Amino acid sequence: MQKVERKILVVEDESLLRNLIANLLESEGFLVQSAGSAVEAKRVAKLFDPDLALLDIELGDGPNGLDLAESLLSLYPGLSVFFLTHIAEPRLVDRHKKVVSKNTGYLVKSRVAEPSYLVTALDAALRGKVGIDQQHFKTPDHIFTKLSNTQLDVVKFLAAGLTPSQIAVRRGTTPRAVRNVVARAIDALKLSGVDEGLARATLIREYIKVAGTPRADG
């Protein structure tokens, strides 16, 4: 049986890491091309026609990985996209979720050196099945994966220092509904046994640890 070449485009502005990932993937039988910037990636993609793009989100001063992903996905709708990131829970960064579609996922950078993790994830994605570990940022190793988007939004506003009434105004709902969302988030994280104030503080602390303090207008 003829071996089907699986083509991967690696985009990472740090050359050492880029080469390392490229070598690793090549050694696993993928056909790899790499680029150090978004514009270089665009040129390579045109000639290389990749099946999957592995993109770093921050690419220095030029267009970032999210812009590149949108541009590539628009031109090559069948392309699978994986983002490389250091952020443990990218769902906390608003703009990430707008880019992520069915055939996109993300990989935590610190795990790209684990060949089995990387190859399994990319293999699955190439077959149109982004692994649950990578799909929609549902990483099992972070507590916020258990929260819904609504709950996350409310926690973000809490972390920004808003009261339930202020959050209600922002979300076009009632303070009572906001308090219910917070209670459900506390339940989801199994913090309900502790004092409510302490549980709320834990939520906020964890949020800030991962995503920094959000601004009230953001």
Partner 1 sequence: MAEPQVRKRSGSRQRIWNQLGERSLWGWRFFLYTIPNYIVAYYIINFLPFEVYQGNWVIVGVLSHLVFIPMGLAVRILVPKSAFKHRLAPLLNIVLFALAGMVKNFVEVLLAIQLGVMVDPRWLLNLSSGAFGMVYIVLIYVAVFGERVRHISTMSSLISKREQLIELRNQRQESLKKHEQTLRSQAQELILPRLREFEQLLGKQMKVQEQVDYLKNTLLNTVRPLATQLQDRRSVQYFDGFGKETTKVRSVAFFERLDLWRDVRPLVVFFAFMPGYINGSILLVGIDKFIQGYPFILITFVALLLVKLAGKVKALANKFVKLSLFLGLPAAGILTSWLFQIQYVDSQQLRLAYLVPVAWGFGLIYVGTAFVTALSATQKVTERELAESNAALQAEWEIYQRDFWVANKRWSYILHGEVQAALTTAIARLTIRPIITPLDVAEVREDMERITQSLSKPLDAKIDLRSAMDDLVEVWQGVVAITYRGSKEAVDLLDKDDFAKQSISEICKEAVGNAYRHGNATKVEIDLQIVSKRFELTITNDGKGPAENRTKGIGSKMLDDLAPRWSLTNSGGITTLKARVPSSALH
Residues forming the site for partner 1 (CB under 8 A): 12-14, 16-17, 20-21, 24, 37-39, 42-43, 58, 60-64, 66-68, 70-71, 74-75, 86-88, 94-95, 98-99, 109-110, 112-115, 208-213, 215, 217-218
Asked if residue 73 lies in contact with residue 79, where contact means CB atoms within 8 angstroms, the answer is yes
Nearest in space to 43 (alpha carbons), one of 84, 14, 75, 80: 75
- Judged by DSSP in three states, 129 sits in coil
If the CB atoms of residues 48 and 183 are measured against partner 1, the closer one turns out to be: 48
If the CB atoms of residues 121 and 210 are measured against partner 1, the closer one turns out to be: 210
Nearest in space to 82 (alpha carbons), one of 60, 51, 37, 61: 51
If the CB atoms of residues 58 and 196 are measured against partner 1, the closer one turns out to be: 58
Task: Tell me the backbone φ, ψ of residue 79, rounded to 5 degrees.
Answer: -70, 140
What is the closest distance, in whole angstroms, from the C-beta atom of residue 57 to partner 1 in the complex?
9
Asked if residue 200 lies in contact with residue 158, where contact means CB atoms within 8 angstroms, the answer is yes
Residue 141 burial (10 A CB sphere; 0-12, 13-18, 19+): exposed
What is the closest distance, in whole angstroms, from the C-beta atom of residue 193 to partner 1 in the complex?
27
What is the closest distance, in whole angstroms, from the C-beta atom of residue 59 to partner 1 in the complex?
9
What is the closest distance, in whole angstroms, from the C-beta atom of residue 134 to partner 1 in the complex?
17
- Judged by DSSP in three states, 49 sits in coil
If the CB atoms of residues 183 and 202 are measured against partner 1, the closer one turns out to be: 202
If the CB atoms of residues 97 and 183 are measured against partner 1, the closer one turns out to be: 97
What would the two tokens of residue 60 be?
């220095």
- Judged by DSSP in three states, 106 sits in strand
What is the closest distance, in whole angstroms, from the C-beta atom of residue 207 to partner 1 in the complex?
10
